Structure 1
Amino acid sequence: MSELLDPTNDYVFKRLFAEAPDLLVDLINDLRPDLPDIASVEILNPNIEPNELTGKYIILDVLARDGDGHCYNVEVQVRRYGAWHKRGLFYLARTLGTQLSGGEDYQELRASVGLHLLDFDLFTGTEAEREQAVWRFEMRDERQPDISLGNILQMNLIELNKADRLGLPEGPLRAWITFFKHWQEELTMANVAHEPVKKAMSRIRELSADEETRRLAFVRERALRDEVSLLNDARREGEAHLFAKLVKMKFGELPEWAQHRLEQANSDQINEWSAKILIANSIDELFKH
């Protein structure tokens, strides 16, 4: 049996749910239990274009609409970048804003719900943030949060790693967390009784057995790794450029040997040199290990 594909690979995620609307219904119902259950969905973006697999900063989401016209943007994110939440809000608001045609009554406006599975810790500043993994954001008053404008615009975030560590109460949500974090562990998954998760495991096995699906999943994974590498390189180059300017201001032009060392240095080394620049008396002393 081939090694199972990772459901947090967004290509695999989209294939998993966009091609199985009934399974997507189960996932939506389990991830936002505060809203009435839905019975069916229409997938609004079922196709995956070849350029999307290698495109920079593209997230392969699943956009769906239920029988009452409510829209859902469902996606998994494996990398954290500065403006990701603004992107999510933008697409959520755009989905809401494009529902009505000219002359239609605002009463016809339906909900736009974002469901984001994050394979990284997002909120880590305070102890309270570190102890919460499931978040729901709506339009509420700052001083009286019980007063809201309704849940017609709602963003749900689930931090998968944190939820797994904290150990959520038994139930459908915990079963999905187990699936996304432990899909490779046969004994662990055998103990999950939630039927939708069992169906998801069956789908993953089917997808994993298809060679073309495996190839495209690898293409997507490689593109995401390359993207992270490019971002890290750009950050390091920016750090190196700023450090070189500081050295020039204090000591003058860098000699060739120092320039070469700077070009070979990683971010940790550059940060270490930057911390010493105020107390160093020469370029030789600055670059000394």
Structure 2
Amino acid sequence: MKGLLDPKMDFVFKNIFGSEKNPNILISFLNATLKPKDLITSVEIKNTDLNKGYIEDKFSRLDVKATTSNNEIINIEIQLKNEYNMIKRSLYYWSKLYSEQLNEGEDYSILKRTICINILNFKYLKTRKFHSGYRLKEIYSNEELSDVAEIHFIEIPKLEEGSDEKDMLVAWIEFLKDPESEKVRSLEMSIDEIRQAKDELIRMSNDDTQRELYEMRAKTLKDKISALNEAERKGMQKGMQKGIKEGMQKGEKKKALEIAKSMIDMGLDKKTISKTTGLDLSEIEKLIN
């Protein structure tokens, strides 16, 4: 058997969790993440197309969209690289999902609870927990305004060794971290949905066409990450150059102030000192006072 594909790659994740053939996988993951009072029993998965154009477009989002039996709209996105804008990005996509439910003239009452789930393969938030969920709350009493908006962040690297695998979300993150680990081998023996996800991953990994598409997507994302790293490097370089320039300017200013003080002690007039040092008259007056 060939090595398994990485389930954290958005192309693979979408094929496993966004598949109409195995909706139980997504249902299990959503119940594990949201822990609703009334369990989700069915999902209608949207945008299942994975054409070549999407895969080769580094700006495309291979996320999983669905509506649930609890009358919710869900969007799941997985990110391998920190783009430093996940909060604003998530709020933007949440607002689009929420507002696009209404056509002109329709009543606000038909708007559904809208949830964005961000799975990150990097540490991002200040919290130590690997899973954080946010809603709209009153800033003093913490009273909830509405549960219509909910945004989750799952930070894979924050999952600690020895976490309780009876928690289904922990089990799913273990699968995403390393589907070939002993932990996952044990989990798939007792949890049907984990076994189904592993079987689908094995099927994809042994399918030459799927592996070729995976390699295409991996190259596209690698190019995107390289572009981000280059932009980051240039930004740091520019920042360093600016810092050096500002440092030199501060050094020159300090030297000019020292010369001005000496000229004041010599009894020279303000205009002469200003002309010699390049300092403003107001700056020289401060030194005199």
Asked if TM exceeds 0.5, the reply is yes
Counterpart Cα distance in 2 of 1:157 and 1:72: 14
Asked if 1:174 is matched to 2:170, the reply is: yes
Counterpart Cα distance in 1 of 2:240 and 2:120: 34
Aligned counterpart, 1:21? 23
Aligned counterpart, 2:207? 210
Aligned counterpart, 1:283? none
Is the contact made by 1:111 and 1:153 (CA closer than 8 Å) also made in structure 2?
Answer: yes
Identify which of 43, 50, 53 aligns with 1:51. 53
TM-score normalised by the chain length of structure 2: 0.77
Q: Residue type of the partner of 2:201?
A: I
Query: Given the superposition, is the C-alpha separation of residues 246 and 155 from structure 1 closer, same or farther in structure 2, using an over 3 Å criterion?
Result: closer
Query: Given the superposition, is the C-alpha separation of residues 39 and 135 from structure 1 closer, same or farther in structure 2, using an over 3 Å criterion?
Result: same
Q: Residue type of the partner of 1:207?
A: M
Aligned counterpart, 2:85? 83
Counterpart Cα distance in 2 of 1:3 and 1:169: 25
Aligned counterpart, 2:130? 133
Is the contact made by 1:164 and 1:181 (CA closer than 8 Å) also made in structure 2?
Answer: no
Is the contact made by 2:136 and 2:149 (CA closer than 8 Å) also made in structure 1?
Answer: yes
Asked if 1:163 is matched to 2:165, the reply is: no
Is the contact made by 1:93 and 1:153 (CA closer than 8 Å) also made in structure 2?
Answer: no
SS across alignment from 1:101: coil
SS across alignment from 2:144: coil
How many residues get paired? Answer: 247
Q: For structure 2, which runs of at least 5 residues remain unmatched after alignment? A: 252-289
**1:164 Cα offset (Å):** 3.9
Mapping of 1:54-133 within 5 angstroms?
54-124=56-126, 129-130=127-128, 132-133=129-130
**1:34 Cα offset (Å):** 3.1
Aligned counterpart, 2:197? 200
Query: Given the superposition, is the C-alpha separation of residues 135 and 247 from structure 1 closer, same or farther in structure 2, using an over 3 Å criterion?
Result: closer
**Higher mean displacement: 8-17 or 62-71:** 62-71
Asked if 1:30 is matched to 2:16, the reply is: no
> Alpha carbon RMSD of aligned pairs, Å?
2.5
Identity of aligned residues (%): 27
Is the contact made by 1:17 and 1:23 (CA closer than 8 Å) also made in structure 2?
Answer: yes
**Higher mean displacement: 211-220 or 41-50:** 41-50
Aligned counterpart, 1:2? 2
Q: Residue type of the partner of 1:82?
A: Y
**1:10 Cα offset (Å):** 0.3
Is the contact made by 2:135 and 2:149 (CA closer than 8 Å) also made in structure 1?
Answer: yes
Q: Residue type of the partner of 1:191?
A: S
Mapping of 1:135-154 within 5 angstroms?
135-145=132-142, 147-154=143-150
SS across alignment from 2:75: strand
Q: Residue type of the partner of 1:153?
A: A
Aligned counterpart, 1:254? none
